[in-house]
Amino acid sequence: MTAVHEDGGPCPLAVVWDPGFLEYDFGPRHPFTERSRGFAVTLLEASGFFEADPGDPRLLPVVPVPREILEGFHTRGYLDRLEEISWDPRGRALDAGDTPAFPGCFEASARIVGGTLAGLRAIQQGRVGHAVNPAGGLHHAHPSGASGFCILNDLAVTLRQALDGPDAYSRVAYVDLDAHHGDGVMYGFYEDGRVLDIDFHQDGRTLFPGTGFPAEAGRGDGAGLKANLPLPPGAGDEAAVRLFDRVVPPLLRGFRPELIVLQTGVDAHVGDPLAHLQYTLGGYRQMVGRVHALAHELCGGRLLQTGGGGYLAENVSRVLAATASDLAGRPVCRRAGQPLPAHWRADFEAEFGYPSPRHWDETVPLSRSPWRKESEEALIHRLEESLGTRFPEPDSGSDQR
């Protein structure tokens, strides 16, 4: 589907990337690396994605982030401490130990926030309809501290700017596909009725951060606007895509957002070493495609996508490249078995030191899923009780766009 504005004109996509994103670096032994996000961008380049007419997909530069914008979500005390540690990390950790400090960690984190904000500004100003920051999606950071490899919460800062900054929107929807619950975002806007939060993730009883249960549905003005869909280890597309079709369209249509923000964490992909779900490239493309179609139906196509988790570079690079290109209506993966560009594969192997996948849709065998129809009904029932709404089964094919 080709992206279009409400007036029927072209709706181009911008990809935000800056080589400085690679400075967000916890060291060679740490599982999180922005290098795999960078290889999503080089995969787009190698596939000819940016070789188009003016007005088609382009790379967007990062914008500087003033301290006061960071303070829209993060506390002054935490930012002061982070700036101090950034000058002299001395081996200190920023949380219980998963998120080590490193020289320049404040600046590197703020740069990633600037990338997601650049995408928002481009959408607000009408320069693009969709924007993607593969380096973003750091959804665990809280106002007063780092958490889960996330030092600053680019999503929460950007949501705050979308609601309270220049050219503000009155309602924003946030959809999170990461295997880990987006706790920093959900709790940061738990009482805010302007944010609809829909989060698919592995059950918090089996995975960090241990949150994100259906009963956590919001409070005050935000009551009934936080929808958590925890999945058991081993669940995959057969669970997520059907739940997505059943829950996401009615919630978004009832809320009528003016902007949709999508976190596309790839750690739910089969084979990820830090989580235990079994999404495939096809499942991610289906869910991102549904959000894309709903953005055009509900809010003039305004859609801001980020990356997120993901700890196998071959999964992260392929999923983020494929879904970004789909948003532009210029899919770089067009058929099953399509080979990856040979020169990109050579660069990948030189960078990561192990063989590259040969094809876009290459994956490991799936284990037997524990998900059953009764699992779906039980989760839907818990959601209905918590949110005070009903989720009938979707019409066959009605949202298969």
Q: How confident is the model at residue 397 (pLDDT cuts 50, 70, 90)?
A: low
Length of the chain: 401
Task: Check pLDDT > 50 for residue 168.
Answer: yes
pLDDT range class, residue 1, cuts 50, 70, 90: very low
Pick the closest to residue 314 from 367, 351, 369 (CA basis). Answer: 351
pLDDT tens, residue by residue, 185-241: 999 999 999 999 999 999 999 999 999 999 999 999 999 999 999 999 999 999 999
Residue 93 — very low, low, confident or very high, per pLDDT cuts 50/70/90? Answer: confident
pLDDT of residue 396: 59
Q: What is the mean pLDDT of residues 71-86?
A: 96
User: Which residues belong to the active site?
Assistant: 140
pLDDT tens-digit readout, 146-165? 999 999 999 999 999 999 99
The C-alpha atoms of residue 145 and residue 152 are separated, in whole angstroms, by 8
Give the residue with greater pLDDT, 230 vs 394.
Answer: 230
Half-sphere exposure of 13 (CA within 13 A, CB side): 27
| 13-387: CATH class | alpha beta
Helices 342-352 and 35-46: angle between axes, nearest 10 degrees = 160
CB 162 within 8 A of CB 120: yes
Q: Domain spans of the chain?
A: 13-387
**Judging by beta carbons within 10 Å of its beta carbon (0-12, 13-18, 19+), is residue 10 exposed, middle or buried?**
middle
Question: How many Cα atoms are found within 13 Å in the side-chain-facing hemisphere of 109?
Answer: 32
**147 vs 183: CA distance, rounded Å:** 10
For the cut 90, the answer to whether the pLDDT of residue 145 exceeds it is yes
Mean pLDDT, rounded, for 289-315: 98
Q: Is residue 281 predicted with pLDDT exceeding 80?
A: yes
Kindly report, residue by residue over 4-55, the tens digit of the pLDDT. 344 444 458 999 999 999 999 999 999 999 999 999 999 999 999 998 666 6
